Structure 1
Amino acid sequence: MKTPINDDLLLDTFDLKLLTALQNNALATNQELGDLVHLSGSQVSRRVQRLHANGLIRQYTALLDAQLLGLTVRAITAVSLLRHGGDEGRAFEAAIQDMPEVLACDSVTGEADYILQIVAANLADLSDSVLRRLTALEGVSSIRSNLVLQRIKSSTELPLQHLSRNSGQARVAKLVS
């Protein structure tokens, strides 16, 4: 988990525009980004390097189309453990790392201990390869899955409006691992 430290990182409107543009198209060249935010390519390069060095940009990635790749079944799965935390929690979290079908796993409050986003090629794959493996994990007390009928919204872009200030600068707590 990342924790804020005392040093603040100042972001100006150019930085926020660059972050927004990169979320939309990580392949944009420095010149293309510069044209969007009205800076030179070299200024953009320095700013992007600084944003990357400070951890605001973690990585660049390609978003693949699950449907076109034959991963047509999506499930939101709630998992409860006999005892949350301790060895059972660590063992569950370690096992999830080896399941590529699990796209996301969040530890949550409420009735379940974890919420998983799972993809599979079909219902048999979901049931046989994923849910059976989850059920077999030591300490798992219940699994409840909901199949996704239709995705209404999907985005990887983080909202940045809360960082804008009338002064044209925003303070962001720098994060460290």
Structure 2
Amino acid sequence: MIRHIIAAIATLLALWAMAFMYDLDQKAERYKKIQELIEKTKMEVKVEQTTPSVQEPIQAPEDLEAERKKEEDEVAKKLKSLRERAGSAMAFKVSPLYKQKCSSCHGVNGEGTVGPKLIGKSPEEVHQALVDFKSGKRQNYVMYGLLSKMDDAQLKELADEIGSFQQKLEAAAQ
């Protein structure tokens, strides 16, 4: 009976050892594949020996001044170009009401982005358009949503402000 127990234990130990060795073989195979992938993806980088360059002669002060002036002119040209592309962005101050209700579509100064250009429109024309949008006579869900809670005094205030954009822009340009 004891022999049978010892034999069973020996058999279990042998089976465990075989399973352990199988697991080690699997891990070794994985490491081997990883090593092969690393070898395949190695890159050789050639480093070229460069000879030191001959030092450039020192420039005369007049040359340095001319080069500095040229760089300043280039910067000035770039700034001018940027100003032209930016247009009238923030050319004048607008009310918080305009910023909240209008600027996201019509631009910070009414120059038009998603919505149409407002600069150059009369206060009466703008007021009538606002009233039409609020009443539903002109259909635009965005405009209706923005104007539906505003009273007539706010609409008039907004129309007067937008109607003054052309004069404000001309004053800012001078």
TM-score (norm 1): 0.20
As a proportion of its length, which structure holds more strand?
1
Question: Normalised by the size of structure 2, how large is the TM-score?
Answer: 0.20
More helix by share: 2
Which entry has the higher C-alpha Rg, 1 or 2?
2
Tell me which of the two structures has the higher relative contact order, counting C-alpha pairs closer than 8 angstroms and 6 or more residues apart: 1
